[in-house]
Structure 1
């Protein structure tokens, strides 16, 4: 079994998509499959490694991986060829059915669509959209596993038959993400954001709304956990908005510290215009923290509107400021959202997600 994804779990920018794929592949290892994960190289990484029974092969770089994959499949994975190729389309499609005679199954967290223009230059965004437009024809014989109804609907709209798409929601590590009575909420009204600092993640929208939030809740602060190429811009934006003293850019943090910050926060904010599922909002709910999120694809699947969190039209600064201020001002609302979040998160488990996802992927190759 060969999995193709831009990053492997050791990559410095590995996130929820890599965790999701790893859980599925580790289930395959437990069932006795030989698993290889083809990903990009990164500074300091060995060209090959092993991780929990999986062979990791690193070729190319983040900017040319999809162009390198055809040659790698031809040179290194054609004799013998894999019984199944699993392509995780997490950046742009590598169009693997063109380059291998093996059956191909596909995992898609989400497609960029027009959100590509929020992150990339015009030529690159057009390139991404062109590659995504090829998916229905290039993967015409493939089965798809997606992590939300929103992604399924996107694929159907693009021309992929609904019957070839299985929706399997992400799991959760309940040993890590759970309420902890020994960790009280912060004494100061605190919002937390967890994620990569990239333009398309929407954190600039939160910073624009923060002055209006502080007009109602003067002590409110925002903790930003994560890093990325957009950090310097966001720091300048916070200074220009006069809220730099209320925004703490904490960078990457160890898992235990990140979970502690989420538990202490009064609410987690997730402002992305598009997600595959929104694992961070479910993790926050599991930790007993209320959520305010964009009413966008993926997040409207992982947040139960008005029950586990408040959903706000993406880009509406006044609506976002009002929702954040409401949650910070109203303790009863926060606690109601938090309690419902714990209950909602309890239904998601990685072993079930991995088993159901792998079954669907293997069915596409006629194997079980």
Structure 2
């Protein structure tokens, strides 16, 4: 079986970490994967800071069953048409998450439908993180061509049914796996912590990922203000690329009187450097205001076997086993208390780290690949059955 997978692949950014793990896992299962990536995915003016540099620090993959093509560009429809007409894959697996990709995706999906090849969508964002009617309407148009849909959470499944009218039978819930390739087993934790400016006694709480309004940076800062006297050694480490102005957060940190308790690294973090921040952390928090799916950052925390506190939104609670580590969204008091319970109890931290290990075992990419391949096989069989029912020109 040969699969055409559409999405972003290293050295592009986007969701390349996820696509790398999924494509290599499926290829490792002796399934031929032709990955249709881009040489230029977005126009620069649509991206924060116009920073579209490739990340050349991703690991390489030399699996003979995986062939990566980087011929498409956002500005060249001829490239989209060429890929849609020339691939000899039996099925298209499209990773859907970003509105600017809609024209290319619509073109490729139309060509696959014309060629009577089934289409599977993994829907990473059923609804946009920020309000966008265009996202909804273009997603609906795309989904009308889909034969099956993969989502990461039960909430995503419900949204596909309620908002897009997709049959529950056409939806599979397959989790987002841990991003194991980012782990560096040889990293010197104490050296990394010292290099980041932390003392041995400091208890480091990490908030990692793109800084956007829904990520709950404000909730984290307010929670730390409550910890100022209770746990003087606690430090908040905020790491990620800005998608908005940092000024309001800087003002909030100053207003709360904790500029000495907060360290930041604002900017895109190359894949090869991600391990530094997770190695340095004693605890990882995801205090999201709202969220519908599973989190790549959460998957990374699980990969590093880090204790994790999450908001009760989307699929985030699936990443923890301790109900005390699940807090209401936008509740700085609850977050503060949850952090304190962890940092004041080393046995609890150890248990939560062991929980992360147990969660990681349930999210293995081998299992994810097998379940995904079963989806392919079922859709290809259905497509062949439908084709057999269509009379040929010689039918009487």
Match of 1:203 in 2: 217
Aligned positions of 1:53-202 closer than 5 A: 53-61=66-74, 72-79=79-86, 82-92=89-99, 94-95=105-106, 96-100=108-112, 101=114, 102-113=117-128, 115-117=129-131, 125-134=132-141, 138-139=144-145, 141-158=146-163, 159-172=165-178, 177=183, 183=189, 186-202=200-216
Would the aligned equivalents of 2:302 and 2:356 in 1 still touch at CA under 8 Å?
A: yes
Kindly provide the CA deviation profile for residues 269-323 of structure 1, in whole angstroms up to 9, marking residues without a partner as x: 11232153224334434534321111110202222342xx611111122222222
Matched, 1:294 2:311: yes
- For 1:216, which of 230, 243, 255 is the aligned residue? 230
Kindly provide the CA deviation profile for residues 139-180 of structure 1, in whole angstroms up to 9, marking residues without a partner as x: 3x5111222333223223332222222222233365865999
Match of 2:291 in 1: 274
Match of 2:390 in 1: none
Give the drift of 1:110.
3.2
Quickly say closer, same or farther: Cα 1:340–1:38, change in 2 above 3 A. Answer: closer
Would the aligned equivalents of 1:145 and 1:168 in 2 still touch at CA under 8 Å?
A: yes
Residues of 2 paired with 1:177 and 1:134: CA distance? 39
Residues of 1 paired with 2:343 and 2:273: CA distance? 22
Kindly provide the CA deviation profile for residues 63-121 of structure 1, in whole angstroms up to 9, marking residues without a partner as x: x7xxx66x5443442256653222111223534544542321111223235x423xxxx
Quickly say closer, same or farther: Cα 1:208–1:361, change in 2 above 3 A. Answer: farther
SS at match of 1:77: helix
Give the drift of 1:357.
1.4
Would the aligned equivalents of 2:225 and 2:256 in 1 still touch at CA under 8 Å?
A: yes
Give the drift of 1:41.
0.5
SS at match of 1:116: coil
TM-score normalised according to structure 1 size: 0.78
Residues of 1 paired with 2:300 and 2:68: CA distance? 29
Residues of 2 paired with 1:90 and 1:75: CA distance? 23
Quickly say closer, same or farther: Cα 1:275–1:178, change in 2 above 3 A. Answer: farther
SS at match of 1:107: strand
Residues of 2 paired with 1:51 and 1:290: CA distance? 30
Quickly say closer, same or farther: Cα 1:363–1:320, change in 2 above 3 A. Answer: same
SS at match of 1:88: strand
Quickly say closer, same or farther: Cα 1:355–1:238, change in 2 above 3 A. Answer: same
Residues of 2 paired with 1:18 and 1:274: CA distance? 20
Residues of 2 paired with 1:327 and 1:56: CA distance? 46
Would the aligned equivalents of 1:193 and 1:269 in 2 still touch at CA under 8 Å?
A: yes
Matched, 1:8 2:15: no
SS at match of 1:217: coil
State the number of aligned residues: 342
Would the aligned equivalents of 1:73 and 1:99 in 2 still touch at CA under 8 Å?
A: no
Match of 2:337 in 1: 322
Would the aligned equivalents of 1:295 and 1:311 in 2 still touch at CA under 8 Å?
A: yes
TM-score normalised according to structure 2 size: 0.73
CA RMSD between the two structures: 3.4
Would the aligned equivalents of 1:106 and 1:361 in 2 still touch at CA under 8 Å?
A: no
Quickly say closer, same or farther: Cα 1:179–1:149, change in 2 above 3 A. Answer: farther
Would the aligned equivalents of 1:116 and 1:128 in 2 still touch at CA under 8 Å?
A: no
293-302 or 249-258: bigger deviation: 249-258
Would the aligned equivalents of 2:303 and 2:360 in 1 still touch at CA under 8 Å?
A: yes
Residues of 1 paired with 2:142 and 2:87: CA distance? 26
Residues of 1 paired with 2:270 and 2:110: CA distance? 40
Could you tell me which runs of 5 or more consecutive residues in structure 1 were left unpaired when the two chains were aligned.
118-124
